[in-house]
């Protein structure tokens, strides 16, 4: 006697078949029912109610008949990318940047919101407001934080008031009821550059981001690597000498070679207003000032040593300079490339990142789309 199939098994089987139809339609975009049957391997009897259901939910749109060389033209189905929306949120000092995108990654709404009270409250209020009528189609949220993230908890992010671990991802997920991904902002920059930027043509890369601090995002075999505790890429904490060094979310290397440190030195070299683009200002000053030229060479040598140290461990093949480091002019970029080539044990190409401030949100959109595609109840990155 055949044992009865449990309701849970039937429900799971239907969900797998439904996901197969959605995934196939998303990839092909426009196709007939017959083509959908062929590509998914599902029988017409199984496919018909699923297609009817997905049309009612807005995933599929019925179009007119397609072209046919023989016989009657078949009615066509088109995948609707607006049926699945994702939110990308970047935590920044005193504010968040939030975008809503469809499953093609096309941004349909953008807003910058200043913190008014708690970070979680701000995110949970801003995302639904920005999604508006599209809130029922929201399938995933990705949050970029300027610190260490593990399991959705954020720590060592003093610029946004998160030094100790706090379960930001879990809190947002519980309140909004959709899968949430939380990751370090530099990891998301690396993911964005790998998806649509200066690393789109390679499987391995390291992105070095210089701002108030210094961090690195590592992509190996096409996947962002976070490490056992989510702290992979925290190169700003590289020790400069063997003496014990504590920290309040700021590492010794970034304390000396970050954009903040460079801005202070530029002001000392040329008294006046603190520069908004300190590396660019230093490069310009170095053309006429010997002291500035010597300091620029110190900066380039320090960044090159950091890159070589990373190359010795992970051999990324390509390094992208982001943030203030992307302000280097061509001669300075060639200089840092030469310094790396001189000392690195493997061939390493150094380039500027392409996406600038958009890299975080491109990476967040990519993460959120992955969360939506899995259909899992949670997608908080573990180490």
The pLDDT tens digits of the residues spanning 299-315 come to 999 999 999 999 999 99
CATH top class, domain 84-189+359-374: alpha beta
CA-wise closest residue to 377 among 170, 137, 130, 168:
170
Is the model's pLDDT at 97 over the cut of 80? yes
Fold of 7-79: Arc Repressor Mutant, subunit A (1.10.10)
C-alpha 53/C-alpha 35 separation (Å) is 18
Q: In this structure, are residues 190 and 205 in contact, taking their beta carbons and an 8 Å threshold?
A: yes
Copy the structure tokens of residue 122.
């701000």
pLDDT of residue 282: 97
- Spatial CB neighbours of 205, under 8 Å, sequence gap ≥ 6: 190, 193, 194, 199, 218, 219, 316, 317, 318, 319, 320
354 — pLDDT class (breaks 50, 70, 90) = very high
The CA–CA distances, whole Å, from 126 to 99, 115, 120, 121, 259 equal 10, 10, 10, 8, 30
Query: In the chain, where does the domain assigned CATH 3.30.420.40 lie?
Result: 84-189+359-374, 202-354
Domain 202-354 has CATH 3.30.420.40: yes
* Tally of CA atoms within 13 A in the half-sphere of 225 that contains its CB: 18
Average pLDDT over residues 146-152: 58
Out of 171-175, 229-233, 271-275, 326-330, give the one with best mean pLDDT: 326-330
Which stretch of 32-36, 113-117, 161-165 has the lowest confidence by average pLDDT? 161-165
CA distance 353 to 322: 5
Which residue reads 């943030």 in tokens? 323
Which residue has better confidence, 19 or 176?
176
Query: For residue 6, what is the DSSP state?
Result: P
Q: How many residues does the chain have?
A: 383
Rounded average pLDDT over 16-38 = 88
pTM of the model: 0.74
- pLDDT the model gives residue 119: 80
């Amino acid at each position: 006697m055949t044992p009865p199939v449990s309701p849970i098994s039937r429900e799971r089987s239907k969900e797998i078949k439904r996901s197969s139809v959605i995934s196939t339609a998303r990839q092909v975009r426009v196709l007939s029912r017959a083509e959908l049957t062929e590509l998914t391997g599902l029988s017409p009897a199984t496919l018909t109610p699923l297609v009817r259901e997905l049309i009612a939910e807005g995933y599929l749109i019925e179009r007119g008949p397609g072209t046919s060389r023989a016989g009657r033209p078949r009615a066509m189905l088109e995948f609707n990318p607006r049926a699945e929306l994702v939110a990308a949120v970047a935590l920044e000092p005193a504010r968040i940047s939030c975008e809503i995108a469809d499953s093609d990654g096309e941004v349909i709404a953008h807003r910058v919101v200043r913190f008014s009270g708690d970070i979680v409250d701000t995110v949970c209020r801003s995302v639904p407001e920005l999604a508006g009528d599209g809130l029922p189609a929201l399938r995933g949220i990705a949050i970029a934080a300027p610190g260490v993230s593990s399991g959705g908890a954020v720590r060592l992010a003093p610029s946004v008031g998160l030094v100790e671990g706090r379960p930001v991802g879990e809190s947002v997920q519980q309140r909004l009821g959709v899968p949430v991904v939380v990751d370090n902002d530099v990891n998301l920059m690396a993911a964005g550059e790998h998806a649509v930027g200066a690393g789109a043509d390679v499987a391995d890369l390291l992105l070095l981001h210089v701002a108030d601090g210094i961090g690195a995002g590592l992509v190996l075999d096409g996947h962002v690597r976070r490490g056992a505790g989510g702290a992979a890429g925290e190169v700003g904490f590289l020790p400069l000498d063997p003496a014990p060094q504590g920290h309040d979310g700021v590492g010794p290397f970034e304390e000396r070679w970050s954009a903040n440190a460079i801005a202070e030195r530029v002001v000392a070299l040329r008294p006046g207003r603190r520069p908004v683009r300190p590396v660019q200002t230093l490069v310009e000053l170095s053309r006429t000032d010997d002291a500035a030229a010597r300091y620029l060479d110190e900066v380039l040598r320090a960044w090159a040593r950091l890159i070589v140290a990373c190359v010795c461990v992970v051999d990324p093949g390509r390094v992208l300079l982001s943030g203030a480091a992307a302000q280097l002019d061509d001669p300075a970029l060639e200089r840092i490339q030469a310094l790396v080539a001189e000392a690195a044990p493997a061939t390493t190409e150094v380039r500027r990142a392409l996406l600038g401030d958009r890299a975080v949100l491109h990476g967040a959109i990519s993460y959120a789309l992955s969360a939506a595609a899995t259909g899992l109840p949670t997608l908080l990155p573990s180490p």
